[in-house]
Structure 1
Amino acid sequence: MNNTALLIIDVQNGMFSEKDPVYKASCLLKTLKQLILKARSKSVPIIYIQHNGREGHPLELGTQGWEIHSAIEPMASDEIIQKTTPDSFFHTNLAEKLAENKINHLVIGGIQSDICVDTTCRRAFSMGFDITLVSDGHSTWGSNGLTAQQIIDHHNGVLQGFTKIASAKEIHFS
């Protein structure tokens, strides 16, 4: 049987700026909040990944933009892992925390589909984890002539080689 944790990547205030918020920001927050409530109801561990940006970055360490969004605010019992690269495992204690709790299945959502979510899914796969990517629980911005939705759809397709893809409604914690 899988020991599961919910991994929420970089859902921080700086990703929701008024002038350039992440694609479908309010839908993303609602979806992640519902997943968090489902996880809490089954005592599934919730791990927040918080990016520590450099000075001037929207997620600059210690600023209001760096804080985890209040719509999905962590509880004292939740784990918060700090990172400085797109890989949630690189130079962090995430692998150790997962091992301590005998976690081998990760349900992953967050921001950015094409950077931190993608990198973390691939790294988790390479480390032997079973992964479920929440198809409607990650987001990004349009880039290089592609819309945000095209990028999300592309990653849901490409990451099928590494993860199970499931909508938030299809995810049931046990």
Structure 2
Amino acid sequence: MVNKALVIIDVQNGMFLEGEAVSDGVELLQGIKVLITQARSTKIPIVYIQHNETAGYPLENGTYGWEIHSEISPEEGDIIIQKTTPDCFLKTSLDQELRERGIEHLYLVGIQTELCVDTTCRSAFSKGYKVTLVSDLHSTWPSTELTAQQIINHHNEALRWFAYVKSSVEIELSSKAWE
């Protein structure tokens, strides 16, 4: 059996600030909560990635914005990884934590689609992990040229080279579909 982990990237309070909230943030949180429940019920490890910014930025270490969103709070036994770059593996203990637990397959959700989610998906693939990108449970903000949904759709297509891309409805973490 392939050992799996749910990896939740940068779902922190600073991403949900009024007037600057990530696109479809309420739906994102609700969907991630469902996957967390599935993971907990099947004893699949949950890894929370927490981005650390310097003073004056929304994800400044130790501030309210930096904290993991209360809707999806970690519990005892969950893994919390601190990072400072878009790649959740770069200069972190993520790879070591996963390998120590025999994790081979990652389910990726979180923020920000075109930065940390994309970079981590590609990095995980390069490190030999099987990856499932949950297509409706990662988000971003609109750019000057594209809507948030256009960015999400583009990355769902592009990342098919590196991951299974499945909607949350298609995923049952307890299934043997990805073994």
Q: TM-score, normalised by structure 2?
A: 0.96
Letter in 2 for 1:20: E
Partner of 1:20: 20
Partner of 1:145: 145
For residues 14-93 of structure 1, what are the structure 2 equivalents within 5 Å? 14-93=14-93
Aligned-residue sequence identity (percent) comes to 58
What is the distance in 2 between the residues matched to 1:81 and 1:158? 26
**Per-residue Cα deviation, 1:120-152 (whole angstroms, up to 9, x for no partner):** 000000000000000011000011310000000
What is the distance in 1 between the residues matched to 2:57 and 2:169? 34
Partner of 2:115: 115
| Deviation (angstroms), 1:154 | 0.4
SS in 2 for 1:66: coil
| Deviation (angstroms), 1:2 | 1.2
What is the distance in 2 between the residues matched to 1:129 and 1:144? 34
What is the distance in 1 between the residues matched to 2:57 and 2:105? 32
Point out 4+ residue stretches in structure 1 off by more than 3 angstroms.
Answer: none
| Deviation (angstroms), 1:42 | 0.3
Letter in 2 for 1:55: A
User: RMSD of the TM alignment (CA)?
Assistant: 0.6
What is the distance in 1 between the residues matched to 2:125 and 2:143? 26
SS in 1 for 2:65: helix
Partner of 1:128: 128
| Deviation (angstroms), 1:19 | 1.1
Partner of 2:2: 2
What is the distance in 1 between the residues matched to 2:70 and 2:168? 20
What is the distance in 2 between the residues matched to 1:144 and 1:21? 16
SS in 1 for 2:88: coil
What is the distance in 1 between the residues matched to 2:37 and 2:142? 29
Q: TM-score, normalised by structure 1?
A: 0.99
Partner of 1:170: 170
- List runs of 5+ in structure 2 lacking aligned partners: 175-179
